[in-house]
Structure 1
Amino acid sequence: MAPALAQTGGLDVSDLPQNAQMLLTADNLIYDNDQSTITAAGGVQIEYAGNSLVADRVVYDRRTSRVMARGRVQIIEEDGDRIFADEIDVTDDFRDGFVNALRVETVDKTYFAAESAERSGGRLTTFNNGVYTACEPCKEKPGKPPIWQIKAQKIIWNGEAKTVRFEGSRFEFFGMPIAYLPFFEVADPTVKRKSGFLIPSASYSEELGVGVSVPYYLAFSPTYDLTVTGTYYTKQGFLGEAEWRQRFDNGQYSVTVAGIRQQDPEAWSSGTVNASETTRGMIGSKGQFRINPRWSFGWDVLAQSDKNFSRTYGIDGFSDTVQTSELYLTGLDDRNFFDLRAYHFDIQENVPDSSSSARDRKQPWVLPSFDYSYTPDEAVAGGELNLDVNVQTVYRDALSGSLASTTPAVYDRIDGVEGLGSRLTAEAEWKRSFVSAGGLVITPLLQARGDAIYTDYDANTVNGVTSFELNGTPVGSDVRSSYYRYMATAGLEARWPILFSTSSASHVLEPMAQIFVRPDAPYQESLGIPNEDAQSLVFDATTLFERDKFSGYDRIEGGTRANVGIRYSGSFANGWTTQGLIGQSYHLAGDNPYAQPDLVHAGAYSGLETDVSDLVVMAGIASPNGFAFSAGARFDEETLDLRRTDLKSAAEFGPVTTSLQYAYIQSQPNYGFDEDRQEFTGIAKVRFDENWSGFASGTYDIKSQTLVKNDYGFSYGDECFIYSMTYSRSKNRDTKETSQSFGFRISLRTIGDFGTSSGELASGF
């Protein structure tokens, strides 16, 4: 709206060059000395300082210094905006004037019309019975009302204060009035940053009640500002928020604070965090700065009165269930990488720390996590040398583990140790590829690694490690304060890609084999070494040819192992492509690291715990018209029973886009999953026409026969208006508790966004 109003300032040319030349063309030019007027009539066109005026007739009165243009008046400004009117009457300096039947079309496609407009003092313009919209008029039916428009008795544009005020205004949607405002004021859009109220928003949840948020924006300077938001909840009272933002040439930062004194904590279930707190608040900050083109640093930190405040009240940027606070320094130069970070993980949950299901207190501090990788630009002995360093220090003040149902109780799984664990790892790897005349690719590899590990465990951890059991058999070990371990590897890889071609297709078949010779890993039978970063182990076709298949540095692979497989890829003249891989891994000598005890049983059920691994298979196909399908599976090495599979498909059918995924994982009791897991996930998106679209998604747990999550929504969007509505439903696999939420968002171009959302509407359906 305001952009159109501001463009009526095209009548204000006081800032034009004083020496600008005016070019006038007309069919007739009439001088009336008696009336002291000069009249241009018939096809009048005036060019002045990049602006042009076209009219049927223009009269200049030398006595009153007024210019009057009549009949199909059109002004085209230097920036391309167009102003249409039946009649324009202004002073020759364009400071004051009057316009009849005004219509404005701006370059950024905003539209304004008024019965008349008056300008005074060179700064104040008043539009009478004005209409504003950002929707382009219908070409087939110009008289058809736009999707939305604002009509006002008076629209006052203050060029000095840079504000636009609407008086007696009403908002119309498809020509139907839906809201009336006695007055409201917005910033002149020629000013990108101006203090004032922003669009209010609404929310609802059963425990908070109805909430109405009113933000106020304060633009102190072009580089820093403050947004203050007050939200009143009908059940819990007033929530105050403030966000400070500041920009610099090399970065920016923000600080957010919020607080509330809850009026009705009992609205939440008893025994929860939300129900036990009255005065609640938080402070959080985010920053990102670039020191130079190679180095940057930043932070994302949160401190709050209790562990669930920011999530409960939806504090923007700090409401994730898992909130990661971090400080970091990163450097990147060609193939060299430096990353230093400090972490703390907050689990925002409504469960008190005394509950057995509480997770927040068990989360660690990581002080620090350090990674450095260096690859020389020049070849070393004709091959590539990589140097890697990793440092990790983890502190946790509560033991994270599970107890077996035995008396006395013993630990059978420890996810995270209580106390301090620190590790320094340095690793070097060299490899070089040789290609024979027949296309055989031979790659020798040499690797060396050393670890220094320090531990300072609490008594709970020491007791848990020493009394650890696996399937009822004690496997506990003593705990030492320091460990030093090493590993040296000599490896050889052979690949022989064979090309088969026909007139309509080409195929590449590539047999591949690897062998890695190394000693047994020191202390691999000891449980005293913590496992923080190598707890997730997935053996499939994508990891078959990895030198070390553990997911992190805390576990180390030893012994001699061979990996064997065949890869295939094909492409066809019609645009279809295919790929596949099948293979196995063989433990040849030494102790199998995947069969050794571990605090989280990382090797159990991995398919690598036997000398001959499970068989892994992968296949995929893709078409040029958007269809793709891939399948991955792992089969028992003896019975070929299915242990794990992942199926994925995606397709486009005109305006419809779909994807479907299926996952199956056989039960892993010692790994924490007593039953098989099977799950379907489907997503569909459809575009009905240029403006309308919809989507639906769902996740179905086959084992529990539960639709654990489903979402639906639709949206409308064009050049001036966006509307979306969503509905979500989730159901707990075990308790069957159900929660539902919905939300909508309306966006009016040049006006702003507003909407509402709700949290849980009901439970226990």
Structure 2
Amino acid sequence: MLPGVTRMARFAAATALASSLAYVLAFAGSASAQTAPAKPQERMVVDARELVYDNDKKTVSAVGEVQILYQGRTIEADKVTYDQAGKRVIATGNARITESNGTVITGDRFNLTDDFRDGFIDSLRVVNPDKTRFSAPRAERTDGETFIFEKGIYTACEPCKDNPERPPLWQVRSARIIHKKAEQTIYYEDARLEFAGVPLAYIPYMSGPDSTVKRKSGFLSPKFINTGPLGFGVGLPYFINLAPNYDLTLTPTYLTRQGLLGQVEWRHRLVNGSYTVRASGIFQQEKEAFLAAPLGAGDDKFRGSIETNGKFYINPRWNFGWNASMSTDRWFYKNYRILNESLSATTYLQEAISTAYLNGQTSTGWFDLRGYYFQPLTSVDWQKQQPVVLPVLDYNKRIHKPSFLGGELTFNANVTHLTRDAAAFQQLPQQSAFLINGTTSSGTGYNLYDGCAVYQKSTCLVRGLAGNVARATAEVSWRRNFIDPIGQVWTPYASVRADIFSVNPDTTGYPNANVRTIVDTSDEVFGRAMPAIGLMYRYPFVAKTSWGTHIIEPVAQIVARPNETNSLRVANEDAQSLVFDANNLFEWSGKFSGYDRVEGGTRANVGALYTGRFGANAYANLLLGQSYHLGGRNSFATGDLVNTGLDSGLETDKSDIVARAQISPFTGLFFTGATRLNQTTFETQRIDAAATYATSVVTASVGYGRYEPQPSLGIFRRREGLSLNGSVGVTSNWRLRAGVLFDLDKYKYDREVFRTQYTAWLASPSTIAIPKYANGGLFQTASTSFGINYTDECTVFDVSYSQSYADRQSGTTKDTRTVMLRLELRTLGELSYSQNLDTSSTGDGVTSSR
């Protein structure tokens, strides 16, 4: 027998006798030996260049590229010595332990028990599977699950590849770090947070879950707030892990001016869905920081909100859910910075929408039943004019290739019922009168209802009737494509639709008495039927050239319907918005956006479509078309209670010309545009254009919109805007971004306001202050923003500044300038802070002083 084999056999025998476990030693490499079989999880496998047995010291050493596998752990070192008397295993030289979960522990010297569970490690370094790291000059492991790091360092950042000794971006240096795996908790004693090796924060004691934890009770990252009406505030969320499928988060926030703001969030996940309930409330200490009613909530002692959402699956096809929100006043969310998932917020509209729904769908069918409640969140809206919509039922069913017709047969149904307390009137002002918060630009009172005392279509719009309004609609339609031998595509179409309306207006209270001059309250139920037949013709021409493939396709469509009836009796609730463009030029069901209006008469729509492909990635798509009213009554020329259809480009027999273009010359660059041109003068009535460019380094976008006045709809100003947005990656981790929105037509509005105010001052200089002309020039900014972001494997740092300017006609009465800071340290938590730079507020409803 070779000497090396003898030494290895002696090492195997000594180890087997010394250990309290029944080992099976299997040796790979230069030689191997085995004893009696044992359970697989109890087997120890040793691999080394040689084994040395010292009978006097009762030690056995494995020397040279040692690797030992036992109970899922692997130990590697230059030399491993087993002390039979002390039952210790000492590993030196490039020592490493790899746990069964992938954790790698390295050190200069290991002194462990014979099962590798406990012991001391010098110059310890631990790398967990999630790339978090510990290091310490000396560490102790007890009970196989508790690590105590003396003068320990923790970080989630990877070391620098070029200079591993350089401090990571951030690390926690602590006198002692105790990691208790059984508790899944890490404790830090006398710790400080360092960035690039520089201490920035001292923390006497803290603890947090380790990387294996998905849910654990404890404090979350604090939240900070600082505004004029609220003062400085600190919120400390506490998460309570009640069970694997439900939890509770409590967030008390102390505000120096207003006291204690309480917030609670309950989350519950069940087998077939989940739901969430959030509530906030405060007893205000300094009510005078907010305006009194009706401009603010300064009269209220208690203010609060409640929100809830949920979704549950009945089966794979059916689900139901809700998203509801309610607050004590319309300013609460903005004043107290309460995040709400149900808010709809833009520069021109802000409201909380509550809905509950039941939805079912298949590959050919769709069912949706829901209700809506709207709460306005601006000072210019009135709650009693907001409708409660319940129910709204939509059903759609498509049958492909029915046996007796072929093609596609479609069934559509809709039922809508709504009620409101007060009628919503809008008097059409004169072009020179600009309405600002209930007064004209001259400062005189302006009663919205005076001009609607007796309804006249030319001076009064009815946005919604008080009382109850209901409609039921059912429609069946059919169409089929036929392709003749020369490639022409013929698509016949037929449909029939029936509507039943029930209008029960309220003519008492508020301004509802004016309703009796608009609708006939003696005839509450009436109906409407609308059959239609049509034909569409397309003939694509295909050409191939050396530089691309081209498809030119002329399109013509004709649809014949009888005249629309009862358009002035219908309370138009869901079809008030009408934008005529290339997207709805060939819509079979008509160009109205909802069910309350239906297109009547005979109309032809014609156009030409071009599609080009150039190389592998470039393409272009163009559409040019026009619509012609051929017979019957033009539904877009008569309007309704809100004048929908007028000033739309469809009110004449020959419509405006519409066009659309999409062009991408190469990957990353994309142009899109749409326009509507006057049919006789070819002047642009509407322009929407955008260009975007995106690579891994640079992203940029330009947007432009211009819409001509629509006097019949109460819009006397041309609206024109330009937006610029972009970002650039300075390095692989740093990115800069910026954006600006210009109101290109505001200077005209300011000029008209000044002219009216100046005329009023000349007439009464003793009672009216001298007006000031706000001349911002052509490029007046509506909003600006810029920011900087740093992101790597362990850190996210983001700083941004945003500014939105007041637009009183839209309900925003104050400029807002906000700085936001967000710092996320992976595994430690996230810290965010926002500061409003204005001296007054975080939104409407607050006083002008701190």
TM-score (norm 1): 0.92
SS at match of 1:199: coil
The one-character-per-residue Cα deviations of 1:556-577 (angstroms, maximum 9, x if unpaired) are 1111111111111222237432
Matches within 5 A, 1:136-215: 136-215=158-237
Separation in 2, partners of 1:389, 1:759: 49
| 1:273 aligned onto 2:350 | no
Equivalent residue for 1:529, pick from 567, 570, 573: 570
Does the 8 A contact of 2:423 with 2:512 survive in 1?
A: no
| 1:739 aligned onto 2:816 | yes
Q: Which moved more, 1:555-564 or 1:37-46?
A: 37-46
Equivalent residue for 1:342, pick from 363, 367, 371: 371
Q: Which residue of 2 aligns with 1:285?
A: 308
Please state how far the C-alpha of 1:185 moved relative to its aligned partner: 0.8
SS at match of 1:623: strand
Matches within 5 A, 1:681-700: 681-700=723-742
The one-letter code of the counterpart of 2:537 is A
SS at match of 1:614: strand
Q: Which residue of 2 aligns with 1:327?
A: 356
Please state how far the C-alpha of 1:17 moved relative to its aligned partner: 7.4
Judged with a 3 Å threshold, the aligned counterparts in structure 2 of structure 1 residues 656 and 162 are, in CA distance, closer, same or farther, namely closer
Please state how far the C-alpha of 1:636 moved relative to its aligned partner: 1.6
The one-character-per-residue Cα deviations of 1:456-506 (angstroms, maximum 9, x if unpaired) are 1110686445546xxxxxxx7666311111100011111111122223222
Equivalent residue for 2:621, pick from 568, 575, 579: 579
SS at match of 1:594: helix
Separation in 2, partners of 1:760, 1:594: 48
The one-character-per-residue Cα deviations of 1:208-252 (angstroms, maximum 9, x if unpaired) are 111111011111111111111111111111111111111122211
The one-letter code of the counterpart of 2:577 is S
Equivalent residue for 1:298, pick from 286, 296, 321: 321
Equivalent residue for 1:541, pick from 574, 579, 582: 582
Matches within 5 A, 1:39-438: 39-271=61-293, 272-318=295-341, 320=343, 321-349=350-378, 351=379, 357-379=380-402, 380-403=404-427, 409-410=453-454, 412-438=460-486
The one-letter code of the counterpart of 1:521 is E
Equivalent residue for 2:489, pick from 433, 438, 441: 441
How many percent identity over aligned positions?
40
The one-letter code of the counterpart of 1:43 is E
Does the 8 A contact of 1:311 with 1:318 survive in 2?
A: no
Does the 8 A contact of 2:427 with 2:451 survive in 1?
A: no
Judged with a 3 Å threshold, the aligned counterparts in structure 2 of structure 1 residues 653 and 115 are, in CA distance, closer, same or farther, namely closer
Does the 8 A contact of 2:505 with 2:515 survive in 1?
A: no
SS at match of 1:23: strand
| 1:717 aligned onto 2:791 | yes
Please state how far the C-alpha of 1:66 moved relative to its aligned partner: 2.1
The one-letter code of the counterpart of 1:295 is W
Judged with a 3 Å threshold, the aligned counterparts in structure 2 of structure 1 residues 89 and 328 are, in CA distance, closer, same or farther, namely same
Does the 8 A contact of 2:428 with 2:714 survive in 1?
A: no
Does the 8 A contact of 2:535 with 2:557 survive in 1?
A: yes
Please state how far the C-alpha of 1:276 moved relative to its aligned partner: 2.3
Q: Which residue of 2 aligns with 1:489?
A: 532
| 1:498 aligned onto 2:520 | no
Please state how far the C-alpha of 1:376 moved relative to its aligned partner: 1.9
Equivalent residue for 1:628, pick from 663, 670, 674: 670
Please state how far the C-alpha of 1:381 moved relative to its aligned partner: 0.8
Judged with a 3 Å threshold, the aligned counterparts in structure 2 of structure 1 residues 248 and 418 are, in CA distance, closer, same or farther, namely same
Judged with a 3 Å threshold, the aligned counterparts in structure 2 of structure 1 residues 663 and 479 are, in CA distance, closer, same or farther, namely farther
Q: Which moved more, 1:76-85 or 1:33-42?
A: 33-42
Separation in 2, partners of 1:512, 1:84: 73
The one-letter code of the counterpart of 1:125 is F
Q: Which has the larger radius of gyration?
A: 2
Does the 8 A contact of 1:348 with 1:360 survive in 2?
A: no
The one-character-per-residue Cα deviations of 1:684-734 (angstroms, maximum 9, x if unpaired) are 121112111111111111111421111111100000111011111011245
Judged with a 3 Å threshold, the aligned counterparts in structure 2 of structure 1 residues 410 and 94 are, in CA distance, closer, same or farther, namely farther
Judged with a 3 Å threshold, the aligned counterparts in structure 2 of structure 1 residues 49 and 413 are, in CA distance, closer, same or farther, namely same
Name stretches of at least 5 consecutive residues in structure 1 with no aligned partner: 1-12, 352-356, 469-475
Separation in 2, partners of 1:494, 1:298: 44
Separation in 1, partners of 2:828, 2:130: 14
Does the 8 A contact of 1:197 with 1:214 survive in 2?
A: yes
SS at match of 1:595: helix
Please state how far the C-alpha of 1:92 moved relative to its aligned partner: 2.3
Does the 8 A contact of 1:227 with 1:244 survive in 2?
A: yes
Does the 8 A contact of 2:342 with 2:354 survive in 1?
A: no
Judged with a 3 Å threshold, the aligned counterparts in structure 2 of structure 1 residues 17 and 343 are, in CA distance, closer, same or farther, namely farther
Separation in 2, partners of 1:85, 1:517: 86
Name the Cα RMSD after superposition: 2.4
The one-character-per-residue Cα deviations of 1:83-135 (angstroms, maximum 9, x if unpaired) are 11112222224454222111112222111101111233445432100001111
Does the 8 A contact of 2:507 with 2:516 survive in 1?
A: no
Does the 8 A contact of 1:738 with 1:762 survive in 2?
A: no
The one-character-per-residue Cα deviations of 1:46-99 (angstroms, maximum 9, x if unpaired) are 122342211232222233322222222111223332111112222224454222
Please state how far the C-alpha of 1:288 moved relative to its aligned partner: 0.9
The one-character-per-residue Cα deviations of 1:139-198 (angstroms, maximum 9, x if unpaired) are 111111110000000111223333211000000011110000000011233232111111
Separation in 2, partners of 1:88, 1:273: 69
Q: Which residue of 2 aligns with 1:750?
A: 827
Equivalent residue for 1:647, pick from 659, 678, 689: 689
SS at match of 2:338: coil
The one-letter code of the counterpart of 1:731 is Y
- Greater length-normalized contact order (CA 8 Å, ≥ 6 residues apart): 2
Please state how far the C-alpha of 1:285 moved relative to its aligned partner: 1.4
Q: Which moved more, 1:402-411 or 1:572-581?
A: 402-411
Separation in 1, partners of 2:549, 2:576: 41
Does the 8 A contact of 2:221 with 2:831 survive in 1?
A: yes
Q: Which moved more, 1:227-236 or 1:310-319?
A: 310-319
The one-letter code of the counterpart of 2:405 is A
SS at match of 2:298: helix
Matches within 5 A, 1:559-574: 559-573=601-615
| 1:453 aligned onto 2:501 | yes
Equivalent residue for 1:510, pick from 539, 549, 553: 553
Q: Which moved more, 1:107-116 or 1:716-725?
A: 107-116
Please state how far the C-alpha of 1:286 moved relative to its aligned partner: 1.0
Name stretches of at least 5 consecutive residues in structure 2 with no aligned partner: 1-20, 22-37, 344-349, 430-449, 748-779, 841-847
Does the 8 A contact of 1:216 with 1:227 survive in 2?
A: yes
Does the 8 A contact of 1:403 with 1:409 survive in 2?
A: no
Does the 8 A contact of 2:507 with 2:515 survive in 1?
A: no
Please state how far the C-alpha of 1:306 moved relative to its aligned partner: 2.5
Separation in 2, partners of 1:178, 1:507: 64
Does the 8 A contact of 1:647 with 1:661 survive in 2?
A: yes
The one-character-per-residue Cα deviations of 1:569-607 (angstroms, maximum 9, x if unpaired) are 222237432222222111111111111131211111001
Q: Which residue of 2 aligns with 1:5?
A: none
Q: Which residue of 1 aligns with 2:440?
A: none
Judged with a 3 Å threshold, the aligned counterparts in structure 2 of structure 1 residues 660 and 385 are, in CA distance, closer, same or farther, namely same
The one-letter code of the counterpart of 2:792 is D
